[in-house]
Structure 1
Amino acid sequence: MTPYQLGPLLYEGKAKRIFQTDQPDLVAVEFKDDATAFNALKKAELKGKGILNCSISALLFEHLQRAGVPTHYLGVQGHHWMLVRPVRVIPIEVVIRNVAAGSLCKQMPIAAGTPLDPPLLDLYYKDDAYGDPLLSEARLERLSLVNGEQRRELEALARRVNAVLLDLFSGLGLQLVDFKLELGFTADGALVVADEISPDTCRLWDLDVVDAQERILDKDRFRQDLGGVIEAYGEVLKRVQGVIHGPSLYG
């Protein structure tokens, strides 16, 4: 295993802590048990959530990389630590919707559960102070977060991720309703998938369950006070582990 020393805390978010290491090309990410919703207005600590999200994210990153999708992922260490390449994260949250659900149904006259073909791709300005607002063309241009070529590359990469995950999850009896992505640039300018991909960032429904609440295997169980959050995340991990070996230890 490649040795490294943990350095100072670089950033602490709602669900993760990010640490510098003594290696310039290595960052350590600690997954926390904290659960938040509604821009952190609702909070709880769910024991075991960090371990589950770390494991699920690691396996999904490995699957994406095997499919040719570039990510910041390098491996795991322990149960809730992920080692990644440092990236300059673009302050744009990319949301891809395959099925209408959640906020979309409150903002548009689309019934929940309506298939969206082609999938709807939305961009949001990632800033809690402003409530992560939806970016129009004019707003995106005004903020100058990416140029035209970078935006096209960003959207193409997000759609590649969607295609790979749709195929994976459908084979596991899960419907990928929607999900959010964070992307960033590495030191050499490559665009990669960053952050995490887990039931915290994806809506996942069990295709074999008809009941609209019981089929939920994601963070909506916490948002809607349905209970069984850890059990739902555990079910997702079990299914993913059935087809993806790993995760790989760093080093």
Structure 2
Amino acid sequence: MKQDVKQGVLLYAGKAKQVFSTDDPELLWVYYLDQATALNGKKKVAIDGKGTLNLHISGLLFKELAATGFPTHFVTDMDNQNMLVRRAKMIPLEVVVRNRASGHFVSRFNVTPLRVLDPAIHEFYYKSDALDDPFMNDEQIVALGIAPRATLDTLRTMADQVNTWLTARWARAGIELVDFKLEFGRLADGTLVLADELSPDNMRLIDAQTHASLDKDVFRQDEGPLVPVYAEVLRRLQATQQEVHHV
């Protein structure tokens, strides 16, 4: 599917993507960079082919999730590194859901890595590179005017729906979802939608049998080349595509 739009002004340059305006004010053009970062951008490496793999993984998951009726900003893949999305006013929060202990959650609470967390844990982080994306509780978010309580409740509900769907989707591919972070925004009509991306850059994934990392932790921990890992994730997703049903 191709859209008759033209790429315009660079609006935002992130760690893994660049966002451009288009000649349609309600659509944005997202370019996936061949770049990996960690430690909030302090570690940055150019990696040929990573952008293409992330775009295809994210596009496939967005298409399948949107087909269930879940609201997203996704419109279409343009080519191997460009995606068309709906313009959304982003809520400056990262919504994190943890199914197993990993990352700094392990060091912060001195728990065994990959310990199952029941119930799943929800966390909010203020999206600010300058402040190193600090953790925020509900009262801080409301008091600072970032989002009202009703919106936070909705974000938790939507994150739970994504967690349920993603957990089952990855399981079909022989992969377990450890944790993930989501970003949300509002369309011009006020509709709250899932935005950003759905890829091993914003999820922790492990092989269901071996528990080997299948995400950006491979890069963070210098465990080996990243592209073969992401290519394997995409291969498994493509091999397990099937019709989905409404949530």
TM-score tier by shorter-chain length is over 0.9
Q: Distance in 1 between matches of 2:241 and 2:144?
A: 40
What secondary structure sits across from 1:129 in the alignment?
Answer: coil
Give the residue type in structure 2 aligned to 1:243: T
CA offset at residue 141 of structure 1? 2.0
After TM superposition, give the deviation of residue 111 of structure 1 in Å: 1.4
Aligned-partner Cα distance in 1 for 2:59–2:98: 22
Give the match's secondary structure for 2:24.
coil
Residue 152 (structure 2) aligns with: 151
Partner of 1:221: 218
SS in 2 for 1:157: helix
Check the 8 A contact 1:67/1:164 in 2, yes or no.
no
Tell me what 2:105 maps to: 104
Aligned pairs for 1:39-188 within 5 A: 39-188=40-189
Partner of 2:231: 234
Query: Structure 1 residue 139: deviation in Å?
Result: 1.4
The Cα of 1:244 is off from its aligned counterpart by 2.7
Aligned to 2:245: none
1:112 aligns to what SS in structure 2?
coil
Shift of 1:41: 1.0
Task: Supply the AA of the counterpart residue of 2:98.
Answer: R
Task: Quote the Cα distance in structure 2 between the aligned partners of 1:2 and 1:55.
Answer: 17
Give the Cα–Cα distance (whole angstroms) in 1 for the partners of residues 159 and 70 of structure 2.
Answer: 10
In the TM superposition, what is the alpha-carbon distance from 1:243 to its structure 2 partner?
Answer: 2.4
- Paired residue type of 2:153: R
Distance in 1, matches of 2:144 and 2:35, equals 31
The number of aligned residues is: 241
Per the TM alignment, residue 242 of structure 1 is displaced from its structure 2 partner at its CA by 1.3
- Amino acid of the structure 1 residue aligned with 2:148: N
> What is the CA-CA distance between 1:108 and the residue it aligns to?
1.1
What one-letter code is carried by the residue in structure 2 that aligns with 1:167? A
Mean Cα deviation higher: 117-126 or 201-210: 201-210
Query: Which amino acid counterpart does residue 122 of structure 1 have in structure 2?
Result: E
The equivalent residue for 1:25 is 26
- Aligned counterpart, 1:244: 241
* TM-score, structure 2 normalization: 0.95
Secondary structure of the equivalent of 2:107?
helix
**What runs of 5+ residues in structure 1 fail to find an aligned partner?**
246-251
Q: TM-score, normalised by structure 1?
A: 0.93
What is the CA-CA distance between 1:173 and the residue it aligns to? 0.7
CA distance in 2, matches of 1:71, 1:120: 23
Q: Which residue of 2 aligns with 1:248?
A: none
* CA–CA separation in structure 2 for the residues paired with 1:133 and 1:2: 38
* CA distance, structure 2, for counterparts of residue 25 and residue 174 of structure 1: 35
1:196 partner SS: coil
Cα pair 2:100 2:116 within 8 Å, conserved: yes
Report the secondary structure of 2:161's partner residue: helix
Matches of 1:199 and 1:171, distance apart in 2? 16
Contact preservation (8 Å) 2:138, 2:152: no
Partner AA of 1:202 in structure 2 = M
CA RMSD of aligned residues (A): 1.1
Cα deviation for residue 80 of structure 1 reads 0.6
Cα deviation 1:93-137 (Å, max 9, x = unaligned): 001000001110111132111101111010000101111111023
Distance 2:28 2:202 in 1: 21
Q: CA deviation at 1:159?
A: 0.8
Which whole-Å deviations, capped at 9, do the CAs of 1:200-242 have from their partners, x for residues lacking one? 11100011215xxxx1110000000011210000000001111
* C-alpha deviation, 1:40, in angstroms: 1.0
* 1:89–1:184 contact (8 Å) kept in structure 2: yes
C-alpha displacement at 1:62, in angstroms? 0.8
